[in-house]
Amino acid sequence: MLPFFCALIMKTEKGKEEARMKENAIEINHLTKYYGRHCGVADVSFSVRAGDIFGFLGPNGAGKSTTIRSMLGFLQYDGEISILGMDARKDHERILREIGYMPSEAMFYPSMRVRDVIRLSAQMRGMDCKQEADMLCDRLKVDTERRIYELSLGNRKKVSIVCAMQHRPKLFIFDEPTGGLDPLMQNTFFELIGEYVEDGTTCILSTHVLSEVKKYCNNVAIMKEGQLVSTGSVSELTHTSSKRVRATVDGQAVDYLYTKDMNSLLKELGGRNVTDLTITDPSIDEIFLGYYSKNDNREEVKK
Amino acid sequence: MMVLFRHEWKQNIRTLLIWSLAVGIMGMICICLYADMAENMADLSESFSNMGAFSDAFGMSVLGIGTIAGFFATEVGVVHGLGSSMFAAIIAGNILSKEEEGHTGEFLYSLPVSRGKVITAKICSIVSALAVFTAVTCIFYILGFQVIDTAPDYKLFAIFMLSQLLMNLEVMCICIALSAFVKRNMTGAGIGIALFLYVYDLMGRIIPDAKDYLFIGPFSYANATDIFAEQEIGPAAYICGGCLMLIALFITYAVYTKKDLAS
């Protein structure tokens, strides 16, 4: 009887593990990467739920790209990465088949025509993606007859989006995707993401643009100096009600972070001569600052 | 793999055309000059074969420059040897590093293909480019022979061209292995490597003490005068060449499949 129970317990545990893997599109455990003596990322662990739009937030040099490049097998690393239930080291090729990746630089072979780059990307996957590629080119207004060296960064990014999406992957990895794209194209891009995610695709969006994360992502991981500062839902992590206030009050320019209730701000300004007023989201560093301050029970961060 | 092979082919085709046409046409012009120079050559041949180290270095002490075989070996042999090895070195030296230098690696390596397969496809594309280079230059040389209506022994000519192809493959393997380590364009270094290997062979033929070590260089078994003079080429040169190629390929795969790719 004992071996039977042992086998049953093991089977149940294995089932739980498989279910967890299915639930999480990405699982990163203790990821550490050194470039010589310099630490790229240190002991980073987080997971991304399947079907989620996950923001990966941090300033330049925070370790976002290192994490992504480790996931894609561009770098050797310590720790464990599991993508779509597969081991990133062992099943590298199979994983790449299911991924649509858009690098931050979006560089292609300069002498190739756009249509040839898109076709090469599909052929390497052994797929005929013509219909999907045509739809994407149409919506993103990509001129497929032009050569890559004729394209601006924004247009190269659009080609990169087509290459990443045309095979309808299970996972998108976008590294600073909107840089160079005009606002109209940014809108179309996020519309497309929304449509694919509705069909079950997971999306990880690495960026330092806070507004993108706040607007489009459900969950977020915040990186700073190679370390994971925090992870959780967007509303949780950006809960700080801080606003950057820039105004000209009584002829004097003021610029500060306001963390109290907005009504108090309006009351404060109400009785004074305000000639100019801009209220924006705080920068990512200010959010960090606010976040740390909250941990230290210091609610207000003011200039 | 075939998709990647075709892609690499397309990337290299312009370089292949330029180099094969340049070397082929230069060789053909050299051959055509033989008809005009043949009469004077008979007198000069004796003098050229008695110029000591100079004659040894260019093989004129063993093969008379007054014959088409001697003329082809000493003139076209040098042009083809240097031209083909430089082509092999340039094309192979950049084959891996160009992805990192041009930042195209992020696109290529995000496609579902292992780095090992990428290396294999790239090597296959260079091997076929070198074969086409050899075939194109061969056609030009034969055209030259047809123009002057005289030709060397075609069997020796075939052995020479195949030996040159083998030498090119060895240069290719050495340069690919170097390409696996670097992240920058290796064109200059490639030309340098080809010239170094040629000069190594040249020095080995001039300096008596260095003759014993001649077999290490890839030019030793591909030397035109040795082949056209039907001099025996020891197995050591082929064995050494084969070993060098295997070691270089092993290093390429071992290094490049584990390498951190530059962004």
Complex ipTM, two decimals? 0.79
Residue range A52-74, pLDDT digits in tens: 999 988 888 889 999 999 999 99
User: Alpha-carbon dihedral of residues A11, A13, A17, A20, nearest 10 degrees?
Assistant: 120
Per-residue pLDDT at B41: 65
Contact A219, A51 (CB under 8 A): no
Q: In 3D, which of B188, B179, B201, B176 has the Cα closest to residue B81?
A: B201
Residues of chain A with Cβ-Cβ distance to B110 below 8 Å are 72, 96, 99, 101, 103
Query: Is B107 an 8 Å CB contact of chain A?
Result: yes
| Model confidence band, residue A295 (pLDDT cutoffs 50, 70, 90) | very low
Per-residue pLDDT at A301: 36
Query: Is A70 an 8 Å CB contact of chain B?
Result: no
Structure tokens at B240: 């050494």
Q: What is the mean pLDDT of chain B?
A: 86
User: Does residue A298 surpass a pLDDT of 50?
Assistant: no
Query: Is A105 an 8 Å CB contact of chain B?
Result: yes
Instruction: Name, of B152-161, B200-209, B218-227, the range with top average pLDDT.
Output: B152-161
In a 10 Å sphere around its CB, with 0-12 CB exposed, 13-18 middle and 19+ buried, how is residue A114 labelled?
A: buried
Residue range B229-259, pLDDT digits in tens: 887 777 888 898 899 999 999 999 999 999 8
CB contact under 8 A, B114 and A92: yes
Residues of chain A with Cβ-Cβ distance to B102 below 8 Å are 107, 109-110
Query: Is A199 an 8 Å CB contact of chain B?
Result: no
CA distance to partner chain A, nearest, from residue B87 (Å):
21
Share of chain A above pLDDT 70, in %: 84
- Of the two residues A143 and B263, the one the predictor is more confident about is A143
Mean pLDDT across B123-143: 95
Q: In 3D, which of B66, B233, B240 has the Cα closest to residue B160?
A: B233
| Model confidence band, residue A10 (pLDDT cutoffs 50, 70, 90) | low
SS3 B250: helix
Query: Is A69 an 8 Å CB contact of chain B?
Result: yes
Instruction: Name, of A155-159, A175-179, A211-215, the range with top average pLDDT.
Output: A155-159
d(CA A139, CA B37): 69
Query: Is B11 an 8 Å CB contact of chain A?
Result: yes
Nearest to A105 among B3, B103, B111 (CB): B103
| Model confidence band, residue A282 (pLDDT cutoffs 50, 70, 90) | confident
Residues of chain B with Cβ-Cβ distance to A96 below 8 Å are 110-113
| Model confidence band, residue A23 (pLDDT cutoffs 50, 70, 90) | confident
d(CA A239, CA A299): 12
User: Does residue A17 surpass a pLDDT of 60?
Assistant: no
Nearest to A107 among B3, B104, B113 (CB): B104
Mean pLDDT across B47-75: 70
CB contact under 8 A, B260 and A35: yes
User: Does residue B197 surpass a pLDDT of 50?
Assistant: yes
Residue range A229-253, pLDDT digits in tens: 888 888 777 666 677 888 888 888 8
User: Does residue B167 surpass a pLDDT of 90?
Assistant: yes
Contact B104, A107 (CB under 8 A): yes
User: Does residue A262 surpass a pLDDT of 60?
Assistant: yes
CB contact under 8 A, A74 and B109: yes
Handedness of CA B168, B188, A117, B255 (dihedral sign): positive
Query: Is B234 an 8 Å CB contact of chain A?
Result: no
| Model confidence band, residue A300 (pLDDT cutoffs 50, 70, 90) | very low
- Of the two residues A6 and B222, the one the predictor is more confident about is B222
Query: Is A127 an 8 Å CB contact of chain B?
Result: no
Of the ranges A26-35, A78-87, B217-226, which one carries the lowest mean pLDDT score? B217-226
Per-residue pLDDT at B17: 95
CA distance to partner chain A, nearest, from residue B102 (Å):
7
Q: What is the mean pLDDT of chain A?
A: 83
CA distance to partner chain B, nearest, from residue A198 (Å):
24
Mean pLDDT across B130-135: 96
- What residues contact B156, with CB distance under 8 A and at least 6 apart? B69, B227, B228, B230
Residues of chain B with Cβ-Cβ distance to A160 below 8 Å are 107
**Interface mutation target, options B113, B260, B261, chain A, most CBs of A under 10 Å:** B260
Q: A25-237 maps to which CATH number?
A: 3.40.50.300
Degrees to nearest 5, angle at CA A202 with A78 and A194: 145
The DSSP output letter for B109 is T
d(CA B28, CA B22): 10
Query: Is B2 an 8 Å CB contact of chain A?
Result: no
CA distance to partner chain A, nearest, from residue B256 (Å):
11
Per-residue pLDDT at A241: 65
Per-residue pLDDT at B55: 61
Query: Is B39 an 8 Å CB contact of chain A?
Result: no
CB contact under 8 A, A108 and B105: no
Query: Is B113 an 8 Å CB contact of chain A?
Result: yes
List alpha helices for A141-283, DSSP H: 153-165, 183-198, 210-216, 234-237, 262-270
Share of chain B above pLDDT 70, in %: 87
SS3 B185: coil
Per-residue pLDDT at A302: 38
d(CA B168, CA B34): 27
d(CA A113, CA A108): 10
CA distance to partner chain B, nearest, from residue A183 (Å):
25
Of the ranges A3-7, A257-261, B213-217, which one carries the lowest mean pLDDT score? A3-7
Residue range B2-32, pLDDT digits in tens: 889 999 999 899 999 999 999 999 999 989 8
User: Does residue A175 surpass a pLDDT of 80?
Assistant: yes
Nearest to A108 among B104, B109, B260 (CB): B104
| Model confidence band, residue A296 (pLDDT cutoffs 50, 70, 90) | very low
CB contact under 8 A, B109 and A121: no
Share of chain A above pLDDT 90, in %: 44
User: Does residue A114 surpass a pLDDT of 90?
Assistant: yes
Residues of chain B with Cβ-Cβ distance to A72 below 8 Å are 109-110
| Model confidence band, residue A284 (pLDDT cutoffs 50, 70, 90) | low
